[in-house]
Amino acid sequence: MASNVSEELRTQVARRAEHRCEYCLISEADAGFSHQVDHVVSRKHGGSSTANNLAFACVLCNRHKGTDIASIDLLTGKAVRLFHPRHDQWTDHFRLEGPVIAPISTCGAATVRILRLNAPERIAERRLLQSLGRFPLR
């Protein structure tokens, strides 16, 4: 957790997200490590530590995202922004196909790739959680 995010603000962000990663949807209760507060637009890029710029993220999503805010669309070669949980609806950019998070927009495709949402171990984790009735909880 970032040192400039108070415990009160972290709690607010976690509650707003219903204690689920806002990128991959895994519940904090089902993750091996506590979820973290992500600066959607990193401080490096001028992002603030306010609720409107913070997302609740599992360790893996937060680690892979890092300070990234965009990527290159592999089809067009043009810059495309990553999914922004405060501005975007998850279902406008992704859909679940079994344990796979399938992108349905260029933004979704870039996010799936950069955050490695469909790495084999992440698919296996979601498959297991689905078999236990734990994913998704929406």
What's the predicted TM-score (pTM) here?
0.94
Paired residues of 97 in beta bridges: 100
| Tens of pLDDT, residues 87-114 | 999 999 999 999 999 999 999 999 999 9
Q: Is the predicted pLDDT of residue 129 greater than 60, yes or no?
A: yes
Domain boundaries of the chain, sorted by first residue? 7-131
Position 136 scores a pLDDT of 87
Q: Kindly state the tokens that stand for 31.
A: 């993750």
Position 84 scores a pLDDT of 97
Q: Is the predicted pLDDT of residue 1 greater than 60, yes or no?
A: no
Q: What value does the mean pLDDT take over residues 49-66?
A: 96
Position 80 scores a pLDDT of 98
**100-134 burial string, b = 16+ CB within 10 Å, else e?**
bbebeebbbbbbbbbbbbbeeebeebbeebeeeee
Position 4 scores a pLDDT of 80
Contacts with 68 (C-beta within 8 Å, 6 or more apart), sequence order? 82, 114
| Tens of pLDDT, residues 38-55 | 999 999 999 999 999 999
Position 2 scores a pLDDT of 43
User: How much of the chain exceeds pLDDT 90, in percent?
Assistant: 93
- Helix (H), strand (E), coil (C) string for the chain: CCCCCCHHHHHHHHHHCCCECCCCCCEHHHCCCCCEEEECCCHHHCCCCCHHHEEEECHHHHHHHCCCCEEECCCCCCEEECCCCCCCCHHHCEEEECCEEEECCHHHHHHHHHCCCCCHHHHHHHHHHHHCCCCCCC
User: β-pairing, 94-97 with 100-103?
Assistant: antiparallel
